[in-house]
Amino acid sequence: MHEITDMRELAAAARCDRGPSSPYLEKLERHGFVVMEPEGPEQMPLEDIMAPLGDPASYRFGTQLIQEQRADTDNSQFRTGAIPMHVDAHLNANAVSYMGWECLEAPYEGGETLIASSAAFFAAAPDDLVGTLRGIEIEYWSRVSGFYAERPGGNPVVAPIQVDPVTGADALCVGVDFPADPSRNFGAAVVGYGKERSLELFERLAQVLSRPEVVYAHRWRAGQVLLMDNRRVLHGRAAYPADSPRKLRRISVS
Ligand SMILES: O=C(O)CCC(=O)C(=O)O
């Protein structure tokens, strides 16, 4: 079968209903993510949707998270700014294979969840960038106090290209550092690179990851569920207005 590598086509294909006979598992396996629409008389609860995908993964706060604005937090998950593209688990949990979000309240503007599939990234990325990624490792450090899993063994150092567990192809496994945001949740640096060279690489990555054929910006509607395979897609978030609601319930599994 022809593999779809343009996110505009992928986002149209990776959709289904949220009913009890939804084909979401097959869509998730094929595309690495799926949007489930609240159509029909009966909707599957998020717990039941996640159950065949693994056991709930703890991020120190527990296995379920309400993502919405909170007062007095240094965690960008609970603020309204943009969140750069990343995979989960380097910093916040030990292992996460799938993540599911259910929209309880949609923002009136912005706040799209951003999804970039590895297949789309590698189809679009210049060869020299991919070549560079094959030869490096990236160190990550948390900038959020006391919230996620502690790393007594030191900062994680991870190769940015891993193996896609479904297709065996390359999978992009990075968090893009974005020092222009002084309140971002994590920092990252290429091992052995100076600050400027490291930053240059993240800028190149961010540039490819912002192309319309690589990233899909999911605009939320209440009742929708978004599932992602954390090992096959990156995610992030667009900013939204401070006076807007936005409430997602999230369960991750490993
Ligand atoms: O709120 C979102 O849409 C995604 C937030 C995010 O990047 C995360 O939870 O890791």
> In CATH, what number is assigned to the domain containing residue 221?
3.60.130.10
Domain that holds residue 164: 7-253
Structural domains of the chain, count? 1
Tell me, in angstroms, the distance from the centre of ligand 1 to residue 1's CA.
32
Atom of ligand 1 nearest to the CA of 83: 7
77 touches ligand 1 (CB under 6 Å): yes
In a domain, 238, yes or no: yes
Alpha helices in the chain (DSSP H): 7-13, 24-31, 46-50, 118-124, 127-134, 195-209
Residue 1 inside a domain? The answer is no
At 18-51, the pLDDT tens digits run 999 999 999 999 999 999 999 999 999 999 999 9
Which residue of 83, 220, 226, 247 sits with most ligand 1 atoms within 8 Å of its CB, as the best mutation to test the pocket?
83
Cβ proximity of 93 and 59 under 8 Å:
yes
Question: Would residue 46 count as lying in a domain?
Answer: yes
Q: Tokens in use for 35?
A: 């949007």
Nearest to 95 by CA among 237, 250, 232, 230: 230
Sign of the CA dihedral with 118 first, then 98, 16, and 206 last? negative
First to last CA, the chain: 29
Q: Name the pLDDT band for 107 (thresholds 50, 70, 90).
A: very high
The predicted model scores a pTM of: 0.95
pLDDT higher than threshold 70 for residue 155:
yes
On whether residue 172 sits in a domain, the answer given is yes
- For ligand 1, whether the C-beta of 84 sits within 6 Å is no
Whether the CB-CB separation of 202 and 180 falls below 8 Å is answered with: no
* Each residue's pLDDT tens digit, 123-149: 999 999 999 999 999 999 888 866 566
Q: Name the region of 62 (left: φ>0; alpha: ψ -120 to 50; beta: rest).
A: left
Strand order through the sheet with 138-142: 157-158, 138-142, 186-190
- Report if residue 188 sits inside a domain: yes
The per-residue pLDDT for range 169-184, each reduced to its tens digit, is: 999 999 999 988 888 8
